[in-house]
Structures are given as C-alpha cells and as structure tokens.
C-alpha cells in the first residue's frame, strides 16, 4: 500500500514539474533561429502539459507532468538561395520561437520553483520550532 502524500512529497512533485517546464523553455531558446530546408523539418517549440493529481489518502492535490507537446506555430519562410539548406526554390524555414516569451516562461518557472523551496524551508522551520517546544 502506498504511503499518503506529505507536504514534502507534494512540493517535490511540483518542483520536478517546474524543472521540466524550465528545461522545455531552455530547449526552445537553444533552437531559436535554427533553419531547415523544409517546413516539415523545422523545429517547433515544445510545451509542458501539466495534470492535477489528487491523493485520496491524504487529501492533498499535486501536479505531475502529463506530457510534452509541440506547438502548431508555422515556421517562418524566407528566401535565401545562397543558404546551404535552401530547397530547390531557394527557401529556408526558421524555427518560430519567440525568445521573449521563452524568457518569461523560464522566469515564471524559476520563481515557482523558488516559492516551493521557500515553502519547504518555512515548513521545516515550523517543525523544528514545534519540536523545541516539547
């Protein structure tokens, strides 16, 4: 039988989910500006899909990574006949990554992670203070 979910377990799951979110944004940033020789081969940004999960034993709700999905954003087509990846018509496709949006995504995930660390630190301090009172 599985143990009931604790505050620390719930925070750990949420921190893991934010780390996956941050890694997805980093991957998108790393591929910003990449070009390919066809629209089908062009990099498309990835997004983390979260899912809520309820632990019936403890009544705590937490988050888990439900999966990863590619955005349907269309690559940017540009005419560059001298580019080594240009197709027969001289076109290349650039990844449709918005660097500003990805930085906001990374900052938000980082702040959420920091908030969880602070919540765990506060819970630990409260537990230590409770033990000292005995």
Q: Is residue 15 part of a domain?
A: yes
Q: How far apart are CA 38 and CA 36, in angstroms?
A: 6
Q: Is residue 1 part of a domain?
A: no
Spatial contact of 61 and 78, defined as CB atoms under 8 Å apart: no
What the block records as the tokens of 130 is 């409770």
pLDDT at 1: 44
Q: Is residue 61 part of a domain?
A: yes
Q: Is residue 39 part of a domain?
A: yes
Q: Is residue 2 part of a domain?
A: no
Tally of domains within the chain: 1
The tens place of each residue's pLDDT in the chain, 134 residues long, gives 467 788 888 899 999 999 999 999 999 999 999 999 999 999 999 999 999 988 888 888 889 999 999 999 999 999 999 999 999 999 999 999 999 999 999 999 999 999 999 999 999 999 999 988 86
Spatial contact of 9 and 116, defined as CB atoms under 8 Å apart: no
Q: How far apart are CA 96 and CA 102, in angstroms?
A: 11
Residues 6+ apart with CB under 8 A from 34: 42, 43, 94, 95
Q: Which residue segment(s) compose the domain that 86 sits in?
A: 7-133
Q: How far apart are CA 17 and CA 109, in angstroms?
A: 9
Q: Is residue 104 part of a domain?
A: yes
> Residue 58: which of 13, 9, 4, 7 has the closest Cα?
4
CB-count exposure of residue 49 (10 Å: 0-12, 13-18, 19+): exposed
Q: Is residue 56 part of a domain?
A: yes
């Amino acid at each position: 039988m599985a143990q009931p979910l604790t505050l620390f377990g719930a925070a750990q799951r949420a921190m893991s989910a934010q780390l996956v979110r941050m890694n997805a944004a980093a991957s998108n940033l790393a591929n910003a500006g990449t070009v390919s020789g066809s629209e089908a081969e062009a990099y498309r940004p990835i997004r983390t899909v979260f899912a809520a999960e309820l632990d019936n034993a403890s009544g705590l709700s937490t988050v888990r990574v439900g999966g990863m999905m590619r955005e349907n954003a269309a690559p940017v087509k540009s005419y560059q006949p001298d580019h080594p990846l240009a197709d027969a018509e001289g076109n290349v496709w650039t990844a449709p990554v918005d660097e500003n949006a990805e930085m906001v995504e990374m900052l938000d995930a980082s702040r959420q992670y920091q908030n969880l660390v602070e919540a765990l630190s506060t819970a630990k301090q409260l537990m230590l203070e409770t033990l000292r009172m005995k």
